[in-house]
């Protein structure tokens, strides 16, 4: 593999470890960190105290991991905060400000039904990695992180609308806020979905990036029954251009039910966007100089509103996989272990369809209806990831599509990258 990027998984004694995941899995120009619980690494137990003490421990764990790979907190490009009680966000923010006093990354905040070990908060980070992961061959170690805000979308002192690094733009999750009034738009979930997508579009236009450069969309809904209404609006935005319509391009997608969202919103949408130009000092390339590769296989469930995997540069972004048998189109019989196996089989089928293997997975996101099922899920998980290499996130949700017990998505390395447009 000399001359190619390699997955670099690392752990430090200064942060909690569990044997099922790596604290950090780096590939090319990004470090993917496992979501951090408020666990004291010395005791292996949740810290005593309220939400502020828990948030501080989460950030201390992230800081320890970041420093163990010779980075600093300002190298973080995205923070995701999961809380059990949306009312705790203000307290979390007080702690957050002490770790990001000047530069603020892109950010997503969601209240979920449950978190592992009964924690009140869980925080994860995506970190820039300028030196890359070609063995013994440091890449452009002086890549510049580009931040941008526009008045045409909601602004916040706690987050940057988009943070670009290397070949990706990482957008803060967009609420259905009218940027002119600073308030939620009037109307039902359709109006809210349209506003959230308009905000994303405004951010992308402000950095001269087309809407169809989105490679992954994450939708957080407070009521999964609203999915059909959201999809109706979503279909008006994707595909966006005549080129995308000609090939019926839609991004990879994950839909998650949230227990609550900031400002009492019904929907919040997060986007990961390709950045063909790269960030300096990478050589300036023509727009779409690196091609977006979208792929579906019959060996995994197909959905007309999402692509199973979308590759750009050195990453493949997978849509969330439910425990659906692709032959029958139905949820498999059995309990959560059987459902976890099917979800992972679907991921494996997608990964293999693009000539990769599960060893190339750098991040796994698991959503379970019952957090108490996690032991059974882990039994299935170990068979697919025996080395525990990928970084991991686990959250409890109260509902999943098709009344499934589990849903899993993944980010996969793409050593060969995607080609230049001919």
Q: What is d(CA 313, CA 349) in angstroms, rounded to the nearest whole number?
A: 21
The tokens for 351 are 């990964």
Say yes or no: 335 and 316 in one domain: yes
pLDDT for 140 beyond 60: no
Reduced to 3 states, what is the DSSP secondary structure of residue 276? Answer: coil
| Confidence bin at 131 (pLDDT 50/70/90) | confident
In this prediction, residues 137-165 reach a mean pLDDT of 89
CB atoms within 10 A of CB 329: 10
pLDDT for 2 beyond 70: no
| Confidence bin at 384 (pLDDT 50/70/90) | very high
Reduced to 3 states, what is the DSSP secondary structure of residue 98? Answer: helix
- Closest of 23, 215, 218, 201 to residue 124, by C-alpha: 23
Say yes or no: 1 and 132 in one domain: yes
Q: Which residues contact 194 (CB under 8 A, 6 or more apart)?
A: 176, 233, 236
Say yes or no: 23 and 58 in one domain: yes
Total number of domains constituting the chain: 3
**pLDDT the model gives residue 59:** 98
Say yes or no: 270 and 156 in one domain: yes
H or E segment at 56? Answer: helix 51-68
Say yes or no: 244 and 309 in one domain: no
Reduced to 3 states, what is the DSSP secondary structure of residue 273? Answer: strand
Report the sign of the C-alpha dihedral through residues 170, 171, 172, 174, in that order. Answer: negative
Q: pLDDT for 300-321, tens place per residue?
A: 999 999 999 999 999 999 999 9
Say yes or no: 272 and 335 in one domain: no
Give the position of tokens 């995205």.
Answer: 78
Q: What domain range is 153 assigned to?
A: 142-283
Say yes or no: 167 and 274 in one domain: yes
**pLDDT the model gives residue 278:** 83
Where a domain ends, among 105, 139, 173?
139
Q: Which residues contact 366 (CB under 8 A, 6 or more apart)?
A: 377, 381, 392, 393, 394, 395, 406, 407, 408
The tokens for 234 are 């979503």
Where a domain ends, among 248, 283, 318?
283
Say yes or no: 132 and 146 in one domain: no
Q: pLDDT for 225-266, tens place per residue?
A: 999 999 999 999 999 888 888 899 999 999 999 999 999 999
pTM for this model (two decimals): 0.96
Say yes or no: 268 and 147 in one domain: yes
Q: What is the CATH number of the domain that holds 407?
A: 3.30.1330.40
Where a domain ends, among 283, 317, 351?
283
Say yes or no: 171 and 223 in one domain: yes
Say yes or no: 306 and 383 in one domain: yes
In this prediction, residues 9-24 reach a mean pLDDT of 96
- Closest of 52, 9, 14, 13 to residue 34, by C-alpha: 9
Enumerate the β-bridge partners of residue 121. 83
**pLDDT the model gives residue 130:** 78
Say yes or no: 300 and 232 in one domain: no
CB atoms within 10 A of CB 70: 9
DSSP conformation class of 73: G
């Amino acid at each position: 593999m000399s001359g190619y990027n390699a997955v670099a998984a690392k752990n430090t004694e200064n942060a909690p470890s569990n044997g099922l995941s790596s604290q950090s899995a780096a590939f090319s120009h990004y470090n993917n960190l496992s979501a951090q619980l408020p666990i004291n690494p010395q005791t292996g137990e949740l810290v005593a105290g309220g939400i502020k003490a828990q948030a501080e421990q989460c950030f201390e764990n992230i800081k320890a991991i970041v420093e163990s790979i010779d980075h600093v907190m300002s190298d973080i490009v995205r923070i995701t905060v999961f809380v059990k009680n949306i009312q705790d966000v203000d307290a979390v923010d007080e702690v957050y400000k002490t770790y990001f006093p000047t530069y603020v990354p892109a950010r997503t905040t969601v209240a979920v039904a449950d978190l592992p070990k009964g924690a009140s908060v869980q925080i994860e980070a995506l970190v820039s990695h300028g030196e890359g992961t070609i063995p013994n061959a440091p890449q452009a170690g002086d890549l510049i992180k580009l931040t941008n805000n526009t008045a045409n979308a909601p602004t916040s002192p706690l987050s940057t609308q988009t943070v670009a690094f290397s070949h990706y733009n990482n957008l803060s999750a967009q609420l259905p806020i009218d940027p002119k009034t600073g308030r939620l738009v009037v109307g039902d979930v359709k109006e809210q979905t349209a506003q959230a997508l308009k905000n994303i579009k405004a951010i992308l236009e402000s950095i001269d990036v087309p809407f169809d450069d989105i490679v992954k969309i994450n939708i957080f809904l407070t009521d999964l029954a609203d999915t059909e209404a959201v999809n109706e609006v979503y279909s008006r935005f994707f595909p966006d251009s005549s080129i995308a319509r000609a090939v019926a391009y839609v991004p990879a997608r994950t839909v998650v039910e949230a227990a609550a969202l900031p400002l009492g919103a019904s929907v919040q949408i997060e986007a990961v966007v390709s950045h063909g130009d790269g960030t300096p000092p990478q050589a300036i390339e023509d727009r779409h100089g690196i091609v977006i590769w979208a792929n579906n296989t019959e060996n995994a469930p197909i959905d007309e509103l999402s692509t199973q995997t979308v590759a750009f540069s050195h990453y493949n972004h997978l849509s969330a996989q439910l425990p659906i048998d692709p032959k029958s189109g139905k949820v498999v019989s059995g309990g959560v272990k059987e459902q976890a196996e099917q979800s992972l089989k679907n991921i494996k089928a997608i990964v293999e369809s693009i000539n990769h293997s599960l060893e190339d997975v750098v991040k796994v996101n698991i959503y379970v209806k019952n957090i108490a099922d996690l032991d059974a899920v882990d039994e299935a998980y170990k068979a697919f990831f025996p080395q525990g290499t990928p970084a991991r996130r686990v959250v409890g949700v109260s509902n999943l599509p098709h009344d499934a017990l589990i849903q899993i998505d993944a980010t996969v390395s793409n050593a060969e990258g995607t080609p230049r447009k001919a």
